[in-house]
A and B are shown apart, each in its own frame.
Chain A
């Protein structure tokens, strides 16, 4: 049993990290920080002033982010879910905004989705992310009403009829959550080592240390669950992966915010963006209720 990353998988992960790293660099976080806080000035409804970064989208397309599971004959890389999961984990770690899952799933279905030329949004549950910035909305968004999204980097619309759950979308979302959870843990540890109070780094205090340790434990448990689900493609494994990854991302971002203290509560720090994105993703694919019911039913199967 070799339940470890292969050399090729490590290389793929590094390549994706390189491309999304351009987005997640200091300049991009600055861009986010300048975005006007939504409770100041004019209230926007559904119309984020933050435009989708088409350049990044095309760069991801060139990298094969959207097409990697397409057959080589169809211009893809012929790779599988484990590779897709590693790519989405990196996107989640860099908090890349945009309908990544919808466009990835549309590769081979919507012309231009595979190369990143065409941005595809999709209804998932009762929500559509990035509807106004997308070129195509699947399966359509009749009667969509804009929300004032809690996540400034994910404009949201609500649709009247819930769309059915796609298990691959659930798994790729779990991979994004895993990446965000990893990022939250890294940020918390970085801060806990650097920030001094009472004459020593706050990471030396058990109360802070234990918050960080629990973050890592949730990340590692979620990672094993997400990677295994990518290998088995078993619906129960995928449901388990989503529950663990949601928990790791949402609680991890909260703990990261707590470790940052007052700084974590500011608009300028990136911490709140991790938490808000984790909340948005936790609503996808029927939310936790659907996954818990599926796993309960599996116990009596």
Chain B
């Protein structure tokens, strides 16, 4: 057991830290959550800077440890969040890299890395959220195209996306996990309507997407026809495995800020609050250690993230909500003021036990795939 880094890893960290120190001071702040075009431009601009500096492909090609260092250092330095690049860099990109043809990799990967193209995710549907395989959006072959009709929901960045990683049903007669296909759909195709959805935070974070006989070339299919469920599992393992590394670092910073605020406003004298923050310190230290453990394991195994991601996500999503509830206790009545720090984050944290597979679904995954308990009905 070793928590030290190799000389090359330390060198990578030092170079990255140096570069961040050079570029971050002159970077403007990120536009507001309601300005999607502004956010797209900002996030893609940041991705372009990473690309030019040689850091763009850290999510795919670098060793898991280098990826960990990248996420740790960028978060510590207060670098921009991956933002509108999330689906492209963390879902679609790795999936196409793993499952796509050479032509597909050449077509889609460079623009993702350069920050030229934004992707969104067309997985969930109104009647197929956690039961993802129940999706009903249909696609049928017409010459060299699939013709797609149906609707998707909870689609982040849909308004500003160029591409959508889309799951469609190509065989209605097959068992529900079988007749699914993974397509890359251009968002400017005729027949696509995007309707923004307002979240409880008050921002238009995601959207409904209606598809009316949208034509998608057969060449945009990743994996075989009706083999989309397997491809989807590849995508989801990336989503759960590495998506939260930077956030744990951020939570540890927030905790220190909360302690400082509590000292300032006198609430630190309350032993119950102090102990609560101390307990959260234990929680986020442990989650950071679990991250390091999972990364080391992935590195030793030489594969992508495994089901261990579900273990992490279950605990992290809960801890994040507890963190911002503690923030509310530190703030007192100030926690009712949307202008106060942490209040919007507290509202946002409510999505964490729902998005990317609810906690209930994650528990089923842990119980069935790790502990080997029987599938229920």
Which residues of A pack against B, CB within 8 Å?
1-6, 9, 82, 185, 189, 192-193, 200-201, 203-206, 209-210, 212-214, 216-217, 220-225, 227-228, 230-232, 236-237, 239-241, 243-244, 289, 291-300
Contact = CB atoms under 8 A, between A and B. Distances in A.
B305 to A, nearest CB: 14
B315 interface: yes
Given A217-B366, A244-B286, A300-B256, 10 more contacts: A3-B1, A3-B289, A5-B1, A193-B374, A204-B373, A212-B371, A228-B3, A295-B278, A295-B281, A299-B256
A216 B362 CA distance: 12
A300 B1 contact: no
* Chain A contact surface mostly: helix
- With most chain B CB atoms within 10 A of its CB, the pick from A216, A224, A299 is A299
A49 B377 CA distance: 49
Contact of B281 (A2, A204, A222, A298): A298
Interface of B: 1-6, 9, 65, 68, 255-256, 258-260, 263, 268, 271, 274-275, 277-279, 281-283, 285-287, 289-290, 292-293, 295-297, 299-300, 308, 311, 314-315, 360, 362-364, 366-368, 370-377
A221 B318 CA distance: 13
A209 B300 CA distance: 30
A244 B287 CA distance: 10
Contact of A193 (B259, B274, B373): B373
Nearest to B275: A292
Contacts of B370: 216
Nearest to A294: B278
A296 B300 contact: no
Nearest to A3: B296
Q: Which 3 A-B pairs have the closest CB atoms?
A: A296-B278, A292-B278, A295-B278
Contacts of A241: 286
- With most chain A CB atoms within 10 A of its CB, the pick from B6, B9, B256, B275 is B275
13 contacts: A1-B5, A2-B1, A2-B299, A3-B3, A3-B289, A189-B373, A212-B371, A221-B286, A237-B285, A244-B286, A289-B275, A295-B285, A300-B263
A231 B3 contact: yes
B376 A206 contact: yes
A225 B285 contact: yes
A120 B360 CA distance: 47
A244 B364 contact: no
A299 B371 contact: no
A224 B258 CA distance: 25
- With most chain B CB atoms within 10 A of its CB, the pick from A203, A214, A295 is A295
* Chain B contact surface mostly: helix
Contact of A209 (B295, B311, B367): B367
A210 B275 contact: no
A210 B362 CA distance: 9
A2 B300 contact: yes
A79 B274 CA distance: 37
B363 A209 contact: yes
A34 to B, nearest CB: 32
A209 B296 contact: no
B292 A240 contact: no
A200 B281 CA distance: 42
A245 to B, nearest CB: 10
Contact of B2 (A2, A294, A300): A2
Contacts of A2: 1-2, 296, 299-300
Contacts of A232: 3
A239 to B, nearest CB: 7
Given A1-B3, A206-B376, A213-B363, A224 B290 contact: yes
Contacts of B300: 2, 4
B326 to A, nearest CB: 11
Nearest to A2: B2
B286 A222 contact: yes
B289 A227 contact: yes
B372 A193 contact: yes
- With most chain B CB atoms within 10 A of its CB, the pick from A1, A224, A227 is A1
Contacts of A240: 281-283, 285-286
Nearest to B371: A189
B16 to A, nearest CB: 16
A222 B289 CA distance: 9
Nearest to A203: B373
Contact of A224 (B268, B292, B376): B292
Contacts of B375: 204
Contacts of A228: 3, 289, 292-293
A297 B287 CA distance: 20
Nearest to A207: B376
Given A217-B366, A220-B308, A227-B293, A296 B285 contact: no
Contacts of A9: 1
